[in-house]
Amino acid sequence: MTISYTHRVRAAVSALVLAAVSLTACTGGDSGSAAAALDPAAEPQRLAGVCPDNVVVQLQWQPQSDMGALFQMLGPGYTIDTDARSVTGPLVAGGKDTGVDLTLRAGGPAIGFQSVSSQLYVDDAIHLGIMHGDQLIAAAGSQPVTGVTPLLKYSPAILMWDPASHPEWRTIADIGTSDATVVVSKEQIFPQWLVSRGLIDRSQLDTTYDGAPARFVGDPTIAQQGFANSEPYSYEQDTPAWNKPVAYQLVKDVGFEIYASNVVVRTDKLEAMAPCLSKLVPIIQQSGVDYHEAPEAANATIVDVIAGDVAYTPYTEGEAAASAALLSDNGLLANEADGSFGTYDPARTQRTIDDLAPVLAAGGAKLPTGLTGEQLFTGRFTDPAIGIP
Protein backbone atom coordinates (compact mmCIF):
# COMPACT_ATOMS: atom_id res chain seq x y z
CA MET A 1 0.00 0.00 0.00
CA THR A 2 1.30 3.48 -0.85
CA ILE A 3 0.24 6.48 1.21
CA SER A 4 1.02 10.01 0.06
CA TYR A 5 1.98 12.87 2.34
CA THR A 6 3.10 16.43 2.14
CA HIS A 7 5.04 18.14 4.86
CA ARG A 8 2.97 19.37 7.78
CA VAL A 9 3.09 23.03 8.67
CA ARG A 10 5.28 23.66 11.67
CA ALA A 11 6.33 26.95 13.13
CA ALA A 12 9.98 26.05 12.80
CA VAL A 13 9.85 25.45 9.04
CA SER A 14 11.09 28.34 6.98
CA ALA A 15 8.75 30.46 4.88
CA LEU A 16 10.37 29.18 1.71
CA VAL A 17 9.63 25.57 2.62
CA LEU A 18 6.11 26.42 3.72
CA ALA A 19 5.39 28.07 0.40
CA ALA A 20 6.53 24.97 -1.43
CA VAL A 21 4.51 22.49 0.60
CA SER A 22 1.01 21.37 -0.36
CA LEU A 23 -1.03 20.49 2.71
CA THR A 24 -3.09 17.33 2.34
CA ALA A 25 -4.62 14.76 4.62
CA CYS A 26 -3.42 11.18 4.83
CA THR A 27 -5.29 8.97 2.41
CA GLY A 28 -5.40 5.22 2.04
CA GLY A 29 -4.65 3.19 -1.06
CA ASP A 30 -2.51 4.20 -4.01
CA SER A 31 -2.78 7.95 -4.32
CA GLY A 32 -0.48 10.84 -4.91
CA SER A 33 -0.01 14.38 -3.72
CA ALA A 34 0.69 17.20 -6.13
CA ALA A 35 4.39 17.95 -6.11
CA ALA A 36 5.35 21.57 -5.64
CA ALA A 37 6.85 23.36 -8.63
CA LEU A 38 10.59 23.41 -8.03
CA ASP A 39 13.19 25.60 -9.67
CA PRO A 40 15.89 23.61 -11.48
CA ALA A 41 19.23 23.23 -9.75
CA ALA A 42 22.33 24.82 -11.21
CA GLU A 43 24.08 22.80 -13.91
CA PRO A 44 26.78 21.34 -11.60
CA GLN A 45 23.94 19.90 -9.49
CA ARG A 46 21.83 18.57 -12.34
CA LEU A 47 21.87 14.79 -12.04
CA ALA A 48 19.55 13.77 -14.88
CA GLY A 49 21.36 11.64 -17.43
CA VAL A 50 24.31 11.14 -15.07
CA CYS A 51 22.71 9.40 -12.08
CA PRO A 52 19.95 6.78 -12.10
CA ASP A 53 16.49 8.28 -12.63
CA ASN A 54 15.72 7.21 -9.06
CA VAL A 55 18.67 7.03 -6.66
CA VAL A 56 17.83 4.29 -4.15
CA VAL A 57 19.52 4.36 -0.73
CA GLN A 58 19.31 1.58 1.86
CA LEU A 59 19.26 3.02 5.38
CA GLN A 60 20.55 1.25 8.50
CA TRP A 61 17.39 1.80 10.53
CA GLN A 62 14.10 3.63 10.32
CA PRO A 63 14.30 7.33 9.39
CA GLN A 64 15.79 9.48 12.13
CA SER A 65 17.85 12.61 12.60
CA ASP A 66 21.31 11.07 12.24
CA MET A 67 20.34 10.66 8.56
CA GLY A 68 19.31 14.32 8.38
CA ALA A 69 21.37 15.15 5.30
CA LEU A 70 19.45 12.61 3.22
CA PHE A 71 16.07 13.97 4.31
CA GLN A 72 17.35 17.47 3.56
CA MET A 73 17.61 16.16 -0.02
CA LEU A 74 14.05 14.78 -0.15
CA GLY A 75 11.82 17.33 -1.86
CA PRO A 76 8.10 18.04 -1.42
CA GLY A 77 5.47 15.77 -2.93
CA TYR A 78 7.13 12.62 -1.62
CA THR A 79 5.22 9.35 -1.29
CA ILE A 80 5.43 6.75 1.46
CA ASP A 81 5.30 3.08 0.50
CA THR A 82 4.20 1.13 3.57
CA ASP A 83 4.84 -2.21 1.87
CA ALA A 84 8.43 -1.43 0.90
CA ARG A 85 9.06 0.67 4.06
CA SER A 86 10.37 3.46 1.84
CA VAL A 87 9.79 7.07 0.86
CA THR A 88 10.34 8.51 -2.62
CA GLY A 89 10.42 12.11 -3.78
CA PRO A 90 12.40 14.55 -5.89
CA LEU A 91 16.10 14.72 -5.05
CA VAL A 92 16.79 18.37 -4.31
CA ALA A 93 19.95 20.39 -3.78
CA GLY A 94 19.30 23.46 -1.68
CA GLY A 95 15.60 22.99 -2.37
CA LYS A 96 16.09 22.93 -6.16
CA ASP A 97 15.30 20.08 -8.51
CA THR A 98 18.28 17.97 -9.62
CA GLY A 99 16.18 16.15 -12.23
CA VAL A 100 16.12 12.74 -10.52
CA ASP A 101 14.22 11.13 -7.66
CA LEU A 102 15.46 9.83 -4.31
CA THR A 103 14.18 6.69 -2.54
CA LEU A 104 15.14 6.04 1.06
CA ARG A 105 14.49 2.47 2.25
CA ALA A 106 14.26 1.73 5.96
CA GLY A 107 16.61 -0.86 7.46
CA GLY A 108 16.71 -2.84 10.69
CA PRO A 109 13.39 -4.62 11.24
CA ALA A 110 12.17 -3.50 7.82
CA ILE A 111 14.74 -5.82 6.20
CA GLY A 112 14.72 -8.55 8.82
CA PHE A 113 17.80 -7.05 10.53
CA GLN A 114 19.96 -7.97 7.54
CA SER A 115 23.10 -5.90 7.01
CA VAL A 116 23.12 -3.02 4.56
CA SER A 117 26.02 -4.58 2.66
CA SER A 118 24.04 -7.79 2.16
CA GLN A 119 21.11 -5.81 0.78
CA LEU A 120 23.41 -4.07 -1.69
CA TYR A 121 24.64 -7.45 -2.89
CA VAL A 122 21.24 -9.13 -3.26
CA ASP A 123 19.26 -6.24 -4.75
CA ASP A 124 20.71 -4.46 -7.77
CA ALA A 125 17.97 -1.83 -7.55
CA ILE A 126 19.80 -0.33 -4.53
CA HIS A 127 22.55 2.08 -5.52
CA LEU A 128 23.87 3.33 -2.18
CA GLY A 129 23.74 2.34 1.46
CA ILE A 130 24.37 3.85 4.88
CA MET A 131 26.86 2.00 7.10
CA HIS A 132 28.95 2.77 10.16
CA GLY A 133 32.69 2.57 9.65
CA ASP A 134 33.21 -0.58 11.71
CA GLN A 135 30.53 -2.43 9.71
CA LEU A 136 32.12 -1.25 6.49
CA ILE A 137 35.45 -2.72 7.53
CA ALA A 138 33.83 -5.98 8.68
CA ALA A 139 32.22 -6.41 5.24
CA ALA A 140 35.49 -5.99 3.34
CA GLY A 141 36.17 -9.70 3.01
CA SER A 142 32.83 -10.95 1.70
CA GLN A 143 30.69 -7.97 0.62
CA PRO A 144 33.12 -5.11 0.00
CA VAL A 145 31.76 -1.60 -0.11
CA THR A 146 33.47 1.77 -0.36
CA GLY A 147 32.61 4.80 1.75
CA VAL A 148 32.29 7.96 -0.34
CA THR A 149 31.26 10.47 2.37
CA PRO A 150 30.33 10.24 6.06
CA LEU A 151 27.11 11.82 7.31
CA LEU A 152 28.60 11.93 10.83
CA LYS A 153 32.17 12.63 11.89
CA TYR A 154 31.87 10.27 14.86
CA SER A 155 29.49 7.58 16.08
CA PRO A 156 26.80 8.49 18.64
CA ALA A 157 27.13 5.00 20.21
CA ILE A 158 27.12 5.00 24.03
CA LEU A 159 27.04 2.83 27.10
CA MET A 160 24.35 4.14 29.45
CA TRP A 161 23.38 3.48 33.04
CA ASP A 162 21.05 4.57 35.81
CA PRO A 163 22.83 7.23 37.89
CA ALA A 164 20.68 6.41 40.93
CA SER A 165 21.76 2.75 40.86
CA HIS A 166 25.38 3.60 40.14
CA PRO A 167 26.26 7.04 41.49
CA GLU A 168 29.93 6.00 41.48
CA TRP A 169 30.06 5.52 37.71
CA ARG A 170 31.31 8.38 35.58
CA THR A 171 32.87 6.57 32.63
CA ILE A 172 32.81 3.32 30.70
CA ALA A 173 35.98 2.32 32.52
CA ASP A 174 34.06 2.56 35.79
CA ILE A 175 31.58 0.00 34.45
CA GLY A 176 34.50 -2.31 33.73
CA THR A 177 35.69 -2.22 37.33
CA SER A 178 32.35 -3.63 38.48
CA ASP A 179 30.69 -6.98 37.82
CA ALA A 180 27.61 -5.35 36.26
CA THR A 181 26.04 -6.92 33.18
CA VAL A 182 26.53 -4.91 29.98
CA VAL A 183 23.62 -5.55 27.61
CA VAL A 184 24.43 -5.07 23.92
CA SER A 185 23.19 -6.38 20.59
CA LYS A 186 25.16 -9.21 19.07
CA GLU A 187 25.85 -7.41 15.79
CA GLN A 188 27.58 -4.47 17.48
CA ILE A 189 31.35 -4.42 17.13
CA PHE A 190 32.30 -1.76 19.67
CA PRO A 191 31.65 -3.98 22.75
CA GLN A 192 34.34 -6.41 21.56
CA TRP A 193 36.63 -3.46 20.97
CA LEU A 194 35.99 -2.29 24.54
CA VAL A 195 36.96 -5.77 25.76
CA SER A 196 40.13 -5.71 23.65
CA ARG A 197 41.07 -2.38 25.26
CA GLY A 198 40.47 -3.74 28.75
CA LEU A 199 37.70 -1.23 29.42
CA ILE A 200 35.13 -3.93 30.22
CA ASP A 201 35.45 -7.66 30.84
CA ARG A 202 34.19 -10.18 28.32
CA SER A 203 32.26 -11.96 31.08
CA GLN A 204 30.13 -8.83 31.54
CA LEU A 205 28.69 -8.91 28.00
CA ASP A 206 25.10 -9.99 27.42
CA THR A 207 24.29 -9.83 23.70
CA THR A 208 20.49 -9.93 23.96
CA TYR A 209 19.68 -6.23 23.56
CA ASP A 210 16.68 -5.87 21.23
CA GLY A 211 16.19 -2.11 21.29
CA ALA A 212 13.30 -2.20 23.77
CA PRO A 213 13.53 -0.42 27.16
CA ALA A 214 11.97 -3.27 29.18
CA ARG A 215 15.25 -4.86 30.30
CA PHE A 216 16.75 -1.58 31.52
CA VAL A 217 13.53 -0.48 33.21
CA GLY A 218 13.16 -3.88 34.91
CA ASP A 219 16.78 -4.04 36.09
CA PRO A 220 18.42 -0.60 36.34
CA THR A 221 21.61 -2.12 37.76
CA ILE A 222 22.73 -3.11 34.26
CA ALA A 223 24.65 -1.03 31.74
CA GLN A 224 23.25 -0.96 28.22
CA GLN A 225 24.23 0.14 24.75
CA GLY A 226 22.40 2.97 23.05
CA PHE A 227 22.85 6.01 20.86
CA ALA A 228 23.27 9.42 22.42
CA ASN A 229 20.76 10.93 20.01
CA SER A 230 18.08 8.35 20.77
CA GLU A 231 17.79 6.37 24.02
CA PRO A 232 18.57 9.10 26.58
CA TYR A 233 15.82 11.36 25.22
CA SER A 234 13.27 8.62 24.62
CA TYR A 235 13.83 7.07 28.06
CA GLU A 236 13.48 10.41 29.82
CA GLN A 237 10.61 11.85 27.76
CA ASP A 238 8.72 9.03 26.05
CA THR A 239 9.03 5.98 28.33
CA PRO A 240 6.40 6.32 31.09
CA ALA A 241 7.86 3.39 33.04
CA TRP A 242 11.13 5.36 33.32
CA ASN A 243 10.75 9.09 32.53
CA LYS A 244 13.94 10.19 34.25
CA PRO A 245 17.48 10.87 33.08
CA VAL A 246 20.09 8.26 32.30
CA ALA A 247 23.85 8.74 32.45
CA TYR A 248 26.16 7.72 29.61
CA GLN A 249 29.51 8.10 27.92
CA LEU A 250 30.09 8.25 24.20
CA VAL A 251 32.23 5.37 22.98
CA LYS A 252 34.13 7.79 20.78
CA ASP A 253 35.36 9.52 23.95
CA VAL A 254 37.32 6.38 24.90
CA GLY A 255 38.93 6.12 21.46
CA PHE A 256 36.41 4.34 19.23
CA GLU A 257 36.72 6.91 16.48
CA ILE A 258 34.90 5.42 13.50
CA TYR A 259 33.20 7.56 10.90
CA ALA A 260 29.47 6.96 11.25
CA SER A 261 26.60 6.72 8.76
CA ASN A 262 28.86 6.51 5.74
CA VAL A 263 27.30 6.68 2.29
CA VAL A 264 28.64 3.54 0.60
CA VAL A 265 28.58 1.94 -2.82
CA ARG A 266 29.42 -1.63 -3.78
CA THR A 267 33.13 -1.61 -4.56
CA ASP A 268 32.59 -3.49 -7.82
CA LYS A 269 30.14 -0.78 -8.94
CA LEU A 270 32.26 2.19 -7.93
CA GLU A 271 33.57 2.97 -11.41
CA ALA A 272 30.15 2.66 -13.04
CA MET A 273 28.72 5.04 -10.42
CA ALA A 274 31.68 7.44 -10.54
CA PRO A 275 30.15 10.05 -12.90
CA CYS A 276 27.06 10.20 -10.68
CA LEU A 277 29.04 10.27 -7.45
CA SER A 278 31.20 13.15 -8.69
CA LYS A 279 28.10 15.35 -8.75
CA LEU A 280 26.01 13.70 -6.02
CA VAL A 281 28.55 13.50 -3.19
CA PRO A 282 29.09 17.28 -2.95
CA ILE A 283 25.29 17.66 -2.83
CA ILE A 284 25.20 15.22 0.11
CA GLN A 285 28.01 17.14 1.84
CA GLN A 286 26.24 20.48 1.42
CA SER A 287 22.96 18.95 2.58
CA GLY A 288 24.72 17.86 5.76
CA VAL A 289 25.97 21.42 6.28
CA ASP A 290 22.47 22.77 5.65
CA TYR A 291 21.02 20.28 8.13
CA HIS A 292 23.52 21.36 10.76
CA GLU A 293 22.61 25.01 10.23
CA ALA A 294 18.81 24.60 10.04
CA PRO A 295 17.49 21.08 10.74
CA GLU A 296 13.83 22.00 11.23
CA ALA A 297 12.51 21.29 7.73
CA ALA A 298 14.28 17.94 7.37
CA ASN A 299 13.19 16.94 10.87
CA ALA A 300 9.60 17.77 9.96
CA THR A 301 9.91 15.44 6.97
CA ILE A 302 11.36 12.63 9.12
CA VAL A 303 8.57 12.95 11.68
CA ASP A 304 5.98 13.01 8.89
CA VAL A 305 7.39 9.88 7.25
CA ILE A 306 7.42 8.02 10.57
CA ALA A 307 3.84 9.10 11.29
CA GLY A 308 2.79 7.76 7.90
CA ASP A 309 3.66 4.13 8.64
CA VAL A 310 2.37 2.34 11.75
CA ALA A 311 5.20 -0.21 11.47
CA TYR A 312 7.71 2.41 12.60
CA THR A 313 8.56 3.17 16.20
CA PRO A 314 7.04 6.59 16.97
CA TYR A 315 9.42 9.52 16.54
CA THR A 316 8.41 12.88 17.92
CA GLU A 317 9.27 16.42 16.92
CA GLY A 318 10.91 16.82 20.31
CA GLU A 319 13.20 13.84 19.80
CA ALA A 320 14.13 14.96 16.30
CA ALA A 321 15.03 18.45 17.51
CA ALA A 322 16.95 17.15 20.54
CA SER A 323 18.80 14.66 18.35
CA ALA A 324 19.92 17.29 15.85
CA ALA A 325 21.11 19.57 18.64
CA LEU A 326 23.00 16.78 20.39
CA LEU A 327 24.77 15.68 17.22
CA SER A 328 25.99 19.22 16.60
CA ASP A 329 26.74 20.15 20.22
CA ASN A 330 28.83 17.01 20.79
CA GLY A 331 30.92 17.35 17.64
CA LEU A 332 29.39 14.30 15.96
CA LEU A 333 27.97 16.36 13.11
CA ALA A 334 31.00 18.55 12.55
CA ASN A 335 33.83 19.68 10.31
CA GLU A 336 37.16 17.93 10.04
CA ALA A 337 40.24 19.71 11.41
CA ASP A 338 40.83 21.31 8.00
CA GLY A 339 37.37 22.92 7.99
CA SER A 340 35.82 20.51 5.49
CA PHE A 341 32.60 18.61 6.10
CA GLY A 342 31.83 15.07 4.95
CA THR A 343 35.43 14.22 4.10
CA TYR A 344 37.80 11.53 5.36
CA ASP A 345 41.06 11.87 7.24
CA PRO A 346 43.21 9.05 5.79
CA ALA A 347 45.30 8.78 8.95
CA ARG A 348 42.19 8.27 11.02
CA THR A 349 40.64 5.68 8.70
CA GLN A 350 43.90 3.73 8.78
CA ARG A 351 44.00 3.86 12.58
CA THR A 352 40.45 2.53 12.65
CA ILE A 353 41.38 -0.43 10.45
CA ASP A 354 44.49 -1.15 12.50
CA ASP A 355 42.43 -1.05 15.71
CA LEU A 356 39.52 -3.14 14.47
CA ALA A 357 41.17 -5.74 12.21
CA PRO A 358 42.40 -7.92 15.14
CA VAL A 359 39.04 -7.62 16.91
CA LEU A 360 37.14 -8.61 13.77
CA ALA A 361 39.55 -11.45 13.01
CA ALA A 362 39.08 -12.79 16.53
CA GLY A 363 35.35 -12.80 15.85
CA GLY A 364 35.80 -14.88 12.70
CA ALA A 365 35.89 -12.18 10.01
CA LYS A 366 38.23 -12.94 7.11
CA LEU A 367 39.59 -9.58 6.00
CA PRO A 368 41.87 -9.05 3.00
CA THR A 369 45.53 -8.75 3.93
CA GLY A 370 47.10 -5.33 3.75
CA LEU A 371 43.77 -3.53 3.93
CA THR A 372 44.19 0.25 3.89
CA GLY A 373 41.96 3.13 4.88
CA GLU A 374 42.19 4.66 1.42
CA GLN A 375 40.84 1.42 -0.11
CA LEU A 376 37.69 1.51 2.00
CA PHE A 377 37.09 5.25 2.46
CA THR A 378 37.70 7.37 -0.62
CA GLY A 379 38.01 11.12 -0.90
CA ARG A 380 37.78 10.92 -4.68
CA PHE A 381 34.33 12.52 -4.90
CA THR A 382 34.25 14.90 -1.94
CA ASP A 383 34.75 18.65 -2.19
CA PRO A 384 37.07 19.89 0.60
CA ALA A 385 35.79 23.44 0.09
CA ILE A 386 32.41 22.48 1.60
CA GLY A 387 32.26 23.06 5.35
CA ILE A 388 30.10 24.30 8.19
CA PRO A 389 30.60 28.07 8.49
296-336: pLDDT as tens digits: 999 999 999 999 999 999 999 999 999 999 999 999 999 99
Query: Any idea what DSSP says for residue 187?
Result: T
Helix, strand counts (H, E) of the chain = 13, 13
Class of domain 2-154+258-376 (CATH, top level): alpha beta
pLDDT-based confidence at 36, cuts 50/70/90?
Answer: confident
**Angle subtended at Cα 58 by Cα 358 and Cα 347, rounded to the nearest 5 degrees:** 35
Across 341-360, average pLDDT: 97
pLDDT of 35:
61
pLDDT digits (tens, 9 = 90+) for 138-192: 999 999 999 999 999 999 999 999 999 999 999 999 999 999 999 999 999 999 9
User: With contact defined as beta carbons under 8 Å apart, do 189 and 360 qualify?
Assistant: yes
What is the per-residue burial (b if ≥16 Cβ within 10 Å, else e) of 310-320? eebeebebebb
Checking if the pLDDT of 23 tops 90, the result is no
Task: Tell me the β-bridge partners of 57.
Answer: 104, 128
pLDDT-based confidence at 1, cuts 50/70/90?
Answer: low
pTM exceeding the 0.75 threshold for the entire prediction: yes
Q: What's the mean per-residue pLDDT of the chain?
A: 91
Checking if the pLDDT of 26 tops 50, the result is no
Checking if the pLDDT of 382 tops 50, the result is yes
Checking if the pLDDT of 113 tops 80, the result is yes
Checking if the pLDDT of 47 tops 70, the result is yes
Checking if the pLDDT of 9 tops 70, the result is no
Three-class secondary structure of residue 51 per DSSP: strand
Checking if the pLDDT of 4 tops 80, the result is no
pLDDT-based confidence at 27, cuts 50/70/90?
Answer: very low
Q: 296-307 and 317-329 are packed helices; what angle lies between their axes, rounded to 10 degrees?
A: 140
Among candidates 238, 339, 313, 319, which has minimal Cα distance to 68?
319
The fold for domain 157-254 equals D-Maltodextrin-Binding Protein; domain 2 (3.40.190)
Across 222-242, average pLDDT: 97
Across 57-77, average pLDDT: 97
pLDDT of 5:
35
Across 276-281, average pLDDT: 98
> Where exactly are the structural domains of the chain?
2-154+258-376, 157-254
